[in-house]
Amino acid sequence: MFRFRRRFISLTTTAILLSVTSGLSACGSTTEHSAGDERLTTVTLALDYLANNAGFAGFYVAQQNGYYKSVGLDVKIQPYTDTTADVLVSAGQADFGTVDSPTLIMDRAAGQNLVAIMAMMQHAAFKVAVATKDTDKIHSPKDLQGKTFGGFGVPIEQGINNAMIKADGGATPDYRTVTLGPSVYDALTAGQVDWALIYDTDDIAWARLRGDDWKTLNPQQYGVPDYYEKMIFSTDDYLSSHQDVAKKFAKASAEGFDWAAHHPAEATSIQASLVKGDFDLPNQTETATLLARNYWLGSNGKVGHMDAALWNDTARFLFEQGLLKDAQGGALSEAPNTSTYFTNEYLPEGTS
């Protein structure tokens, strides 16, 4: 989402974690304070991406509509920085954070004791976008052979590309990769690369709004499992000692995202009024509309629930692609059991 990605960039080394632990103040500790006649518990939420993205609208709705205050919480949203949310929460510098399930699985493999407590986005949003010049040449993943991929340089990209090509009957994947970072979108539009992995919820939708209707391929149709694109998580230690706070936070957040799912335009306007910096309201409203239609609500029509089979499928895929490393950087010998990587116990009744 937006023009710079930090998803799937998992900073899991001990050195990074230790430097964060020693270098930051204890801003993540849960505290209580009085607000008028009320006593509120302050908790911190670290975002894994820029705050002016509609994917976070539910948090701002929960603030504006008083859902957090009604359960006795004062939620401080920490803007995205160069230190990722998984590192901040692991180091105790935030109580909760947002992350995708592949990153959390990679973090757990590397020794970080993180636990997801609520799904914000029920499905993966990555799609293959084909450059306009290649629309008549690329019909399915096997046609990507010999072409040029423009990427951000994150490990999951190669895993997705290779799996799709193999599932489509292609030979050993053989394509050129150019690491472009945020300029990948301009390169795709200019036809300097043949395809890229970008997000259905905003990049592809925004291109359509400006008249550049890229052909897209869905990785989930070619051997790549679905996964949770965005979740709320914390640590085992925090959850074990703050169960009541976690339940209140999950309840109020779920209410915020549920309201946003039924009022996407209004939710985006609320977010625009609360975040600092530029906010592209037309684009973000389009994003919120797509999130409300396809991503925020589960098959039960509710926000938050996570399924064990989806977690295990994602872990198995990451393992088969060689993306799971232990704390010393060695490859895991088998796919992990993800049963302790997530829990639905903090969700409101009726959402599971």
Q: Does residue 325 sit within a domain? A: no
Over residues 200-213, mean pLDDT: 86
Residues 195 and 104 in one domain: no
Residues 116 and 243 in one domain: yes
pLDDT of 34 over the 70 cut: no
The first and second tokens of residue 325, run together, are 């490393």
Q: Which domain holds residue 57?
A: 14-123+228-320
Domain count, the chain: 2
Higher-pLDDT residue of 149 and 16 is 149
Residue with tokens 């394509």: 175
Cβ neighbours of 281 (radius 10 Å):
15
pLDDT of 9 over the 70 cut: no
Q: Does residue 119 sit within a domain? A: yes
Q: For residue 25, what pLDDT is reported?
A: 44
- Any idea what the CATH number is for the domain that residue 272 is in? 3.40.190.10
What are the φ and ψ backbone dihedral angles of 239, each rounded to 5 degrees?
-65, -40
Residues 18 and 114 in one domain: yes
In one-letter notation, the amino acid at residue 211 is: G
Q: Does residue 315 sit within a domain? A: yes
Over residues 137-162, mean pLDDT: 94
Residues 53 and 192 in one domain: no
Residues 148 and 93 in one domain: no
Give start and end residues of each alpha helix (H) in the chain.
Answer: 14-23, 57-64, 67-70, 85-90, 101-109, 155-167, 184-189, 205-209, 236-241, 243-262, 264-274, 281-294, 308-320
Provide the CB-side half-sphere exposure for 223 (13 A, CA).
19
